[in-house]
A and B are shown apart, each in its own frame.
Chain A
């Protein structure tokens, strides 16, 4: 296999692997821009993945799975909102609690309902989001250079992949070109300014966490209905935290979030690709080291290569009027 083909394949899996990160990171962006830190992206994604897998298995419809995933993760997002907005609780504690609840509940309910060791039944093709073939993908495949890029890299992904990437410009537009976005950014910086301007801080933050719920639901659906054929326990495997890292790395801006997620996706794809292949000069690299690479990079990047990442000023602080 020549270098070009290998590159296309690695990039192709980069796209696939970065989608759940991208959806989760954009989810976190809405919440954190409004001043509500959300360490529970992981848990909401996991619960969404389970709900999607379970609903799709029962109904045989991928769309029913998607709907169930969104409902469940919006519900969890509202629980986080109730704890941290209405009751002004500690946002980190609430997020961690949601992660624990999701990790435990998905296994217990999975075992109780399907008796497959915490899995949901393996899904047939039409209960999943299959690959979409863009027009002329096959006819153009043989065109040199551009053909494989179009046919392999751009065409042939599930609907959710295209949706995830469309959410990047959409999120930018919402944030910087709509009234909702202006208020969202303002409430994350100085909620008192929003309050005295006659806008409800709570309702604004609730809407933001609902956006977070919607997007983590999509991320979970992608994991169990597009990347895999059903739910497997702990299938998020820390992606919610990597998404959080990408969000910080990108300084809470939508387009850099996309590039950060693609970078982490690429490292993942690269690690899978070179497993068992000796590298020039270095020789055989242990699989574990390659798998750890994205995490090592996260630490290195966050430790100082990106400059100072300043979070929204009111982030993590419940809003209380004076006194």
Chain B
């Protein structure tokens, strides 16, 4: 009979007026992989941070292996055999793998002897679990997949029996994610308990034994994974029925509206991030650019929208060239019909301390309809904002509210409303649903399809492969700055995944 690894009773935690966790009960069986799923902001990470001693619960009890436990610090959690792999890696970038693994568990005060011991132990763990990493490599030189492996090794080095992983696949290619899942299954076979936090339903179905669903800080259900379905879980997460796949008709591609030829872009360090990229986007189609984050998509967007200087190449917008010196006039681009939903809405897309109505027109404030002589026409601006709030179902429906007080999904809708309502010829969209909850994702996808059907040319960049596949009429895959392949929307996830990992088709066939 399997015993209980962790039992939580009545855990509550508030940050100011926000109830991050309300009266949560959770029981996790030892030796299983237990998934915790929920939308962004449902309170999954907070709950796990409480279990790891990073935050303190306002009330409630924790039992580890049947014994009541008081976990006030991460060191208390470590002593109880709990390890955590955080969403943002907790590694010292300019330290070696070995130094990172040792940190906080060095043993003696002098490193001479303890370093040798740690190296032996680390090498043993790497062999036992098939987690090879060079102990002397610097973290900053390692790809994210290996950095994550170091985080797992860190937990195992501290003797963790219960391993918490917070959104571990966000930074991984599909192949790397599969590898991670193999590692997790192996850990389970070794008798470890794994807690997997994610908002991706597919991962839950693929690997977990049990799944608990969180919504708005509360635990709404726990199921055996084998006895539930994706549809049921999605409904539990959102609290209503959701369409997971957008319905759309055939696209009718027209004239070329945006043309990119031989574009090469370097980043601030002088590294070539976009390497001789060419493609066209036609009116009435959505071209999706897939790829793992950091393969040049951001720099490509910045160059096309005139934010970043390009080294060479041309970009043509509806037949006329775009200035690529990094000093393009954004007002001019907008007048010519280019609308831009930037990847990073917090830093580029919005001024968070501004009121909603100000953000709803920022960048278009020169237009006559917002002006009364040399002054802003405040009433016109607010009326315009109210109209957008209604049309895009932005909540709360208050155009005087500070933008920072809207949820991620509603903030994104503010940006989308601003750009789409300008009736552009070309819409450039970066990561439209990053940090956006399932309900809003459905709405945003619907709007993007509408734009296409109205004959706009849409360039969509996203690291979410599902999103690219369900929206795009054509899919380009970027790897290491190059477009390594073009596929239709019928391309399988596996095929795209291999392209995203830079594997040529021939190699893959072998």
* Partner-B contacts on A (CB < 8 A): 176-183, 185-186, 189-190, 192-200, 313, 321, 323
Asked if A182 contacts B102 (CB within 8 A), the reply is yes
* Additional A-B contacts beyond A183-B104, A198-B75 (6; CB < 8 A): A177-B111, A185-B95, A195-B54, A198-B74, A199-B75, A200-B73
* Partner-A contacts on B (CB < 8 A): 15, 52, 54-55, 73-78, 84, 86, 88, 90-95, 99-100, 102-106, 108-112, 114, 154
Asked if A182 contacts B74 (CB within 8 A), the reply is no
Interface centre among A177, A178, A193, A200 (most CB of B within 10 A): A193
Asked if B110 contacts A182 (CB within 8 A), the reply is no
Contacts of A323 in B (CB 8 A): 15
* CB contact between A178 and one of B74, B78, B91, B110 (< 8 Å): that residue: B110
Q: Which residue of A lies closest to B105 (CB)?
A: A197
| 11 pairs, CB–CB < 8 Å, chain A vs chain B | A177-B111, A179-B111, A183-B104, A190-B93, A195-B54, A195-B90, A196-B54, A196-B84, A198-B74, A198-B78, A198-B104
Asked if A197 contacts B110 (CB within 8 A), the reply is no
Report Cα–Cα, A323/B86, bound state, in Å: 15
* CB contact between A321 and one of B54, B75, B78, B88 (< 8 Å): that residue: B54
Contacts of A196 in B (CB 8 A): 52, 54, 74, 84, 86, 90
8 closest cross-chain pairs (CB), A and B: A197-B104, A198-B75, A193-B90, A196-B90, A179-B106, A198-B74, A189-B92, A186-B92
Asked if A180 contacts B95 (CB within 8 A), the reply is no
Asked if B109 contacts A193 (CB within 8 A), the reply is no
Asked if A182 contacts B90 (CB within 8 A), the reply is no
Asked if B92 contacts A179 (CB within 8 A), the reply is no
Asked if A186 contacts B103 (CB within 8 A), the reply is yes
Known A-B contacts A193-B100, A196-B86, A198-B74; the reply to A179 vs B91 at CB < 8 A is no
Report Cα–Cα, A186/B91, bound state, in Å: 9
Contacts of B78 in A (CB 8 A): 198
Chain A proximity of B414: nearest CB distance (Å): 23
Asked if B103 contacts A183 (CB within 8 A), the reply is yes
Contacts of B94 in A (CB 8 A): 189
* CB contact between B93 and one of A176, A180, A313 (< 8 Å): that residue: A313
Interface centre among B74, B92, B112, B114 (most CB of A within 10 A): B92
Contacts of B76 in A (CB 8 A): 198
* CB contact between A179 and one of B54, B74, B93, B108 (< 8 Å): that residue: B108
Report Cα–Cα, A179/B84, bound state, in Å: 23
Asked if A190 contacts B90 (CB within 8 A), the reply is yes
Report Cα–Cα, A80/B100, bound state, in Å: 29
Contacts of A183 in B (CB 8 A): 103-104
Report Cα–Cα, A29/B126, bound state, in Å: 36
Chain B proximity of A200: nearest CB distance (Å): 8
Q: Which residue of A lies closest to B101 (CB)?
A: A197
Report Cα–Cα, A323/B16, bound state, in Å: 10
* CB contact between A193 and one of B103, B106, B110 (< 8 Å): that residue: B103
Report Cα–Cα, A94/B15, bound state, in Å: 29
Contacts of A180 in B (CB 8 A): 109
Q: Which residue of B lies closest to A196 (CB)?
A: B90
Contacts of A186 in B (CB 8 A): 92, 95, 99, 103
